[in-house]
Amino acid sequence: MTTAVTPPNAIRLRPYQTEAVSAVYDHLRRRDDHPCVVIPTAGGKTPVMATICRDAVAQWDGRVLILAHVKELLEQAVDKLHAMAPDLWHRIGVYSAGLKSRDTEHPIIVAGIQSVYRRAAELDRFDLILIDEAHMLPPDGEGMYRTFLADARAVNPNVRLTGLTATPYRMTTGMICAPENLLNHVCYEVGVRELIVQGYLCPLKSKAGRRKVDTTGLHIRGGEFIAGEVEALMDDDSLVRSACREIVEHTHDRHSVLIFAAGVQHALHVQRVLAEMGFECGFVCGDTLPFERAETLKKFKDGDLKFLVNVNVLTTGFDAPNIDCVALLRPTNSPGLYYQMVGRGFRLDSSKADCLVLDFGGNILRHGPVDALEIKDRASGNGESPAKECPECQAVIHAAYGICPECGYEFPPPKREQHDHQASTAGVLSGEVTETEYEVQEVYHSVHVKRDAPEDHPRTMRVDYRVGFNDHRSEWVCFEHTGYARGKAEAWWRVRSHEPFPESSEQAVAICEAGGVAPTLAITVRSVSGEKFDRITKHRLGTIPPLLDGSDERDDGNLPDYDGPQDDEVPF
């Protein structure tokens, strides 16, 4: 192995971006199928793509083709590659009829699939093909991509394919990676919640609309609600006025509010009502003239326009970091579309502490929190999403919460279903003991205040373990107590963390949420027939993490430069 030379204008990769690049190379070396990288919206897919392009061209003398589905994404890809890796600008060409450019000679070509799918021979040999925004692969077939790939293989039988996306499922339903699909395996994925905790994405908070819409009468076509039915449902004058009042009420201290409407007439209705209330609201849709769209979006991005309503045009590739509220005035059955709408508020900006999501279409309850989406196959039925709405303040939170983090409302304990989906393992006789181990899917931490307790009463940390589809088990750790309870808390902490013992439950939650404790892989639950509550008796833990102090690796100028691949073996 030779020592890698740091290229000029080196790309500064975050730790997870470096891991993503390495995962792609490892997959291409070890497997014969096509990988996909999943990084959340605003998490930085472009540095990963630019790094792969640079390595392929500079380290391995290869050629790379970047394919996208729409003209706007091509322009963005070129602009971002130039900004991220200015030393590559003279190596990047564009092949797109819509952009009136047909470059074929450059080592890196950015192309629209519609323009090139029958012109693989004209573009000559490629070693690597990258599909940007891979979730936009057509839901009813990947014909143009397959046609191009077959012809590209005729030119170079060893050409490799890699996808990049924030959502590894289609804008309707169904995962994009499968043995029979164009992309076959997710080689690397980092989650929304993880990047929020690490400080790379903006925190989210959400509320549901006070007036509920009944979507049970909507029909589904191609995995999505029929558009005309959705607009007819949402474009009710009283509903529009109620929603607009709530939007104004909740955003008096917000700066940039992006509204998703159900259709053009619905959007214009929202615009009129906000104008009647004394607020200017911009409007863009697919038929908006290009210069009008550019002018409106510039005003919104510059902060000169607070409200902007759109119809199906600002879901993918629209970057406005100042967005601090997203209002969903439309229901969608598509988890991908739901994610893309909410994702417009993920970007960090000095003007905001968080992004508020106002959901008037029941989307969070339908699909679950955006960091814990439930993706349903067409044949699997609807199921139940892991979210619930607080009856006091309308905050939409994860189903694991026992107390609303917004207003403090304490939810009643869940009732057991009359008939479980699977045969029960509980003892049939009173006093019979059963112990069951459950694999833990997710863990949530919150500060618990005992109902009707005085203000000086010690608080506890509530730990909720999701062990199944909307199945949660809880325990309470008493950091602020004395005697036996504190001793148990100290033992609980000692086997999980190298951090000092927390002085309060709030501090314990903060350390846990920052990744300062070992992950819980499984729990053992003890059930006694005739007793009301089960008890967690054992935990199977992962590795204790290193100390948090001094290990913050956010991009504050101290990240190491990416110095090229650590292996000379060509991955394609």
3-state per-residue secondary structure call for 64-111: EEEEECCHHHHHHHHHHHHHHCHHHHHHEEEEECCCCEECCCCCEEEE
* Residues of each domain in the chain carrying CATH 3.40.50.300: 15-195, 202-398
In which order are the strands placed within the sheet that holds 257-260? Answer: 204-208, 355-359, 325-328, 257-260, 307-310, 281-284
Residue 518, Cα to own-chain centre: how many angstroms? Answer: 23
Structure-token match 């590795």, residue found: 543
What b-and-e string marks burial along 319-333, b requiring 16 or more CB atoms within 10 Å of the CB?
Answer: ebbbbbbbbbbbbbb
DSSP for residue 1 = -
Q: Are 418 and 515 in contact (CB under 8 A)?
A: no
- 128 DSSP β-pair partners: 64, 160
Architecture of the domain spanning 202-398: 3-Layer(aba) Sandwich (3.40)
Mean local confidence (pLDDT), 427-431: 45
Q: Determine which helix (DSSP H) or strand (DSSP E) holds 491, and give its type and residue range.
A: helix 483-494
- More confident: 203 or 378: 203
Tokens of 495: 């086997």
Residue 50, Cα to own-chain centre: how many angstroms? Answer: 21
26 Rama sector, left if φ>0, alpha if ψ -120 to 50, beta otherwise: alpha
521-563 per-position pLDDT tens digit: 999 988 775 566 788 999 999 999 998 875 555 555 567 777 7
pLDDT at position 561 is 77
Mean local confidence (pLDDT), 202-227: 87
Q: Which of 56, 46, 159, 154 is nearest to 107 (CA)?
A: 56
What b-and-e string marks burial along 231-252, b requiring 16 or more CB atoms within 10 Å of the CB?
Answer: bebbbeeebbbbbbebbbebbe
CATH 3.40.50.300 given to domain 15-195 = yes
Structure-token match 């104008």, residue found: 275
Give the E-state strand segments of 242-302 in sequence order.
Answer: 257-260, 281-284
Maximum mean pLDDT: which of 34-38, 84-88, 134-138, 380-384: 34-38
371-390 per-position pLDDT tens digit: 766 555 443 444 455 677 77
pLDDT score of 337 more than 70: yes
pLDDT score of 179 more than 60: yes
323-332 per-position pLDDT tens digit: 999 999 999 9
pLDDT at position 423 is 41
In this structure, the number of other CB atoms found within 10 A of the CB of residue 20 comes to 27
- 257 DSSP β-pair partners: 307, 325
- State the chain's mean pLDDT as an integer: 84
Q: Are 365 and 214 in contact (CB under 8 A)?
A: no
Q: Which of 226, 134, 232, 227 is nearest to 184 (CA)?
A: 134
Is the Cα torsion angle 353, 354, 355, 358 positive or negative in sign?
negative
pLDDT at position 209 is 84
pLDDT score of 190 more than 60: yes
Calpha distance 564→544 (Å, rounded):
30
pLDDT at position 558 is 64
